[in-house]
């Protein structure tokens, strides 16, 4: 039996194991952290996995020692770092560990895009609360987005207007707290708000485009980021050629060599992640 490990099979990652089983793979579920919140992990479907359970990584390797795994897959964003480290540990194909932070952390990602000469969002990183009183001059009268460095799905994201609004938002952030992904907040990023459509370009290793979609978000129930829908678009349409070209070049600059990725937010004027 061919066996694969799925790290954090939550969110859209719940769809992997049933399909892998259909193709003749046994799946073993592991989590990247025991502190992942119930809000994130409640979608786990144990019936699709060996032992009908989820294990921490070391326990899984001990219990299934001697098995011949053929792949390690990240079920969702939070599992990327652990999956790449585990693949390297097992000698399996994966993305280089030295580029993991570029794919996972928002500030590192934008710096890599800038270094590659690609469109990006200018970003300010704050490591702790003591830096709030010394915001750089680029934090001016515009509207900004304040977001955790290492979270996902717009969790903890806030809009802020002008310098004092940004400072106030930063004071209300969960500095040093364990977040929903089971990770301690490593800092917060401030970026100018870029308005435009948000697209998803999905592709696998070798940069084969699987789909192009457009998110629709609305303000509801006090949140600015409620996902109202997802429109599937024609990836072969000429109007999407620049978008797809950008994602391929961005993926290369972020060290993505293997596995499905990812979400790119784009406007007609400025293309960003």
Q: Quick check: 162 pLDDT over 50?
A: yes
Model pLDDT, residue 268 = 36
User: What is the span of the domain harbouring residue 168?
Assistant: 133-187
Length of the chain: 273
Contact (Cβ atoms closer than 8 angstroms) between residue 150 and residue 118: no
Residues 234 and 202 in one domain: yes
Instruction: Give the pLDDT band (50/70/90) at residue 223.
Output: confident
Instruction: Give residue-wise pLDDT tens across range 29-76.
Output: 999 988 888 888 888 999 999 999 999 999 999 999 988 899 999 998
| Average pLDDT taken over every residue of the chain | 85
Residues 117 and 229 in one domain: yes
Instruction: Give the pLDDT band (50/70/90) at residue 27.
Output: very high
Residues 74 and 112 in one domain: no
Sheet of strand 198-204, all strands in order from the earlier edge strand to the far edge? 223-233, 208-220, 198-204, 261-265
Model pLDDT, residue 262 = 47
Instruction: Give the pLDDT band (50/70/90) at residue 267.
Output: very low
- More confident of the two residues 153 and 133: 133
Model pLDDT, residue 69 = 92
Residues 236 and 103 in one domain: yes
Q: Quick check: 183 pLDDT over 90?
A: no
Q: What is the mean pLDDT of residues 79-95?
A: 90
Please check whether residue 75 lies inside any domain of the structure.
Answer: yes
CATH code for the domain in which residue 23 is found: 3.40.50.20
Model pLDDT, residue 270 = 34
Please check whether residue 220 lies inside any domain of the structure.
Answer: yes
Please check whether residue 248 lies inside any domain of the structure.
Answer: yes
Contact (Cβ atoms closer than 8 angstroms) between residue 123 and residue 191: yes
Residues 80 and 104 in one domain: no
Q: What is the mean pLDDT of residues 129-151?
A: 90
Q: What is the mean pLDDT of residues 207-224?
A: 80
Residues 88 and 104 in one domain: no
Residues 218 and 86 in one domain: no
Q: What is the mean pLDDT of residues 242-266?
A: 75
User: Who's near 88: CB < 8 A, 6+ residues apart?
Assistant: 94, 97
Model pLDDT, residue 271 = 33
Residues 145 and 62 in one domain: no
Residues 28 and 85 in one domain: yes
Residues 105 and 198 in one domain: yes
Number of structural domains found in the chain: 3
CATH code for the domain in which residue 273 is found: 3.30.470.20
User: In sequence order, what DSSP letters do the residues of 111-158 get, joined into one string?
Assistant: HHHHHTT------EEE-SGGGGGG--TTS-SSEEEEEETT--TTTT-E
* CB hemisphere CA count around 273 (13 angstroms): 29
Residues 112 and 65 in one domain: no
């Amino acid at each position: 039996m061919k066996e694969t490990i799925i790290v954090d099979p939550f969110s859209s990652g719940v769809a992997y194991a049933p399909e892998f089983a259909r193709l003749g793979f046994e799946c073993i579920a592991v989590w990247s952290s025991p502190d992942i919140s119930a809000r994130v992990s409640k979608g786990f479907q144990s019936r699709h996995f060996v032992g009908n359970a989820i294990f921490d990584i070391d326990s899984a390797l001990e219990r299934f020692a001697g098995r011949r795994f053929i792949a390690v897959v990240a079920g969702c964003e939070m599992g990327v770092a652990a999956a790449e480290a585990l693949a390297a540990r097992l000698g399996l194909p994966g993305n280089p560990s030295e580029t993991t932070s570029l794919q996972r952390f928002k500030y590192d990602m934008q710096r890599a895009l800038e270094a590659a000469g690609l469109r990006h969002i200018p970003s300010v990183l704050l490591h702790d609360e003591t830096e709030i009183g010394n915001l750089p001059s680029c934090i001016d009268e515009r509207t900004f987005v304040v977001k955790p460095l290492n979270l996902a799905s717009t969790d903890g994201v806030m809009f802020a207007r002008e310098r004092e609004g940004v400072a106030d938002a930063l004071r209300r952030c969960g500095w040093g707290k364990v977040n929903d992904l089971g990770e301690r907040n490593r800092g917060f990023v401030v970026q100018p708000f870029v308005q435009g459509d948000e697209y998803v370009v999905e592709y696998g290793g070798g940069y084969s485009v699987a789909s192009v979609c457009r998110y629709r978000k609305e303000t509801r129930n006090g949140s600015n980021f409620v996902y109202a829908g997802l429109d599937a678009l024609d990836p072969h349409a000429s109007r999407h050629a620049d978008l797809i070209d950008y994602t391929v070049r961005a993926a290369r600059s972020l060290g993505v060599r293997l596995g499905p990725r990812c979400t790119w937010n784009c406007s007609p004027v400025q293309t960003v992640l």
